[in-house]
Structure 1
Amino acid sequence: MPAHRRRGAELERAILAAVRDQVDRHGYANTTYEGVAAAAGTGKAVLYRRWATKAHMVLAAMAADEQIDLTFTVDTGSLADDLNLALRGGRDILDHRREMVVGLLADLDPGDPGWGQSLFSNRISVVLGPIVDQARARGELGDAPLPPRVLAVPLTMLRHDTLVYGRVSDDDIAEIVSTCIVPLFITASRSPAGAFDS
């Protein structure tokens, strides 16, 4: 009986899983089209038809990763404490993927629209949305919606400090939250409509 030939979404899921496995096993720098194709049981031409560069292939795999643990988003009863937990969870993910992120930043074209959103921000609303909603319900935040750029600030600061300084400590996260994020969220949530629009 001939082997089942995968197509479409089934094949793409297998390829993206193989990409993540290769990055985990060999690091971003040593992940290759050849290795991914062999691991996925397909040909290099199949990969090249989907992604013109390794960076875009890895980016797609990470953006589609459903195994990233977002369970650190809980209701502690405090906006600051919720943000501290969320950023600690984000720090652990970035620490694990630091070499990959550095490689992607080096390889991706900054003029390529949307790559940063896909890499860093595609799950911001999943993580921070409930935190903001809980803070509103407790009266810690006002009713004005937080613009996407404001909502992205916690991850942006965490990413910057991780890539520039290395591992970010719990004290560093607490300082980011107390001096930057909480005041910004409070101000933006209590500002007139359009005040924070870009």
Structure 2
Amino acid sequence: MHGVSNESMRKRRRGAELEAALLEAAWDELVAVGYERLTYEAVADRAGTSRPVLYRRWPSKRELVLAALRHRTPPLPDAPPDTGDLRGDVLALLHRVITRMRELAPVREVLAAEQGQATELSAYLAARNQGPGLTWMRTALERAARRGEIDAPDALPDRLVTLPVVLVVHELFMARRTPTDADLEEIVDQLFLPLVAHQLGQHP
């Protein structure tokens, strides 16, 4: 099965092709064993190369994992879905959060390990989380204000704005279950929208 030796692979691959292979191997190892157990030796073995090849590019495990995350995770969209009304926007946004969390399941352990650390890796993870948690929700609320659904969205506190996403992430990470459509509708219809209306004094 191994008709091509590691040595011939090292000779053939260069530049971007080699780097992509190394980062794919790092991602696969992260998925297989997790952040804490990931080693340069195992990644090098997966990639059919040597540890010095990895160390020259990424001197620390944090740098290697950060590069693998950047290589493998798609860029965050600039804005949440636009469905034409606030309720639809928030539901669509929550569905996107669930999909993204599933795609990035190996990142959970990295998040836990990097919590409270002031590193480039922790900053990257924080930026990834901020999009759906606050920036996207603010965008959805600003759209709703332009459509005349709500007034003065800037008056809403951040804790209220991020409530739907926080509840979904709690279900995924802490309760270890994926919220159903009914769960999402309950969050939006019975918690979020009534609280927004109360905060803004927009009672039916």
Tell me which interval the TM-score lies in, with the shorter structure as reference length. Answer: 0.5 to 0.7
Matches within 5 A, 1:82-161: 82-98=89-105, 100-108=106-114, 110-113=115-118, 115=122, 117-122=126-131, 124=133, 127-145=136-154, 148-161=158-171
**AA paired with 1:140?**
E
Q: Deviations over 1:90-142 (max 9, x none)?
A: 112212333x143224422x321473623522455664354223211122232
Distance 1:40 1:79, change over 3 A: farther
Q: Deviations over 1:151-192 (max 9, x none)?
A: 43333222111012222211111112223333444556x49x
Identify which of 76, 81, 90 aligns with 2:83: 76
Pair 1:44-2:51 in alignment: no
Structure number with higher relative contact order (C-alpha < 8 Å, ≥ 6 residues apart): 1
Number of positions where the alignment pairs a residue of Structure 1 with one of Structure 2: 181
**AA paired with 1:111?**
G
Pair 1:181-2:192 in alignment: yes
Q: Say which SS state the counterpart of residue 43 (structure 1) adopts.
A: helix
Distance apart, 1:64 and its partner CA: 6.7
Pair 1:172-2:183 in alignment: yes
User: Aligned equivalents of 1:11 and 1:144: distance in 2?
Assistant: 48
**TM-score, normalised via structure 2 length:** 0.62
**TM-score, normalised via structure 1 length:** 0.63
**AA paired with 2:117?**
D
Distance 1:155 1:68, change over 3 A: farther
Q: Which runs of 5+ in 1 are unaligned?
A: 192-198
Distance 1:66 1:95, change over 3 A: closer
Residue identity over aligned pairs, in percent, reads: 24
CA contact (8 A) 2:23 2:67 kept: yes
CA contact (8 A) 1:83 1:177 kept: yes
Considering only aligned residues, what root-mean-square deviation do their CA atoms show, in Å?
Answer: 4.1
Distance 1:101 1:136, change over 3 A: same
CA contact (8 A) 1:59 1:118 kept: no
User: Aligned equivalents of 2:21 and 2:65: distance in 1?
Assistant: 13
User: Based on CA coordinates, which of the two structures has the bigger radius of gyration?
Assistant: 2
CA contact (8 A) 2:91 2:188 kept: yes
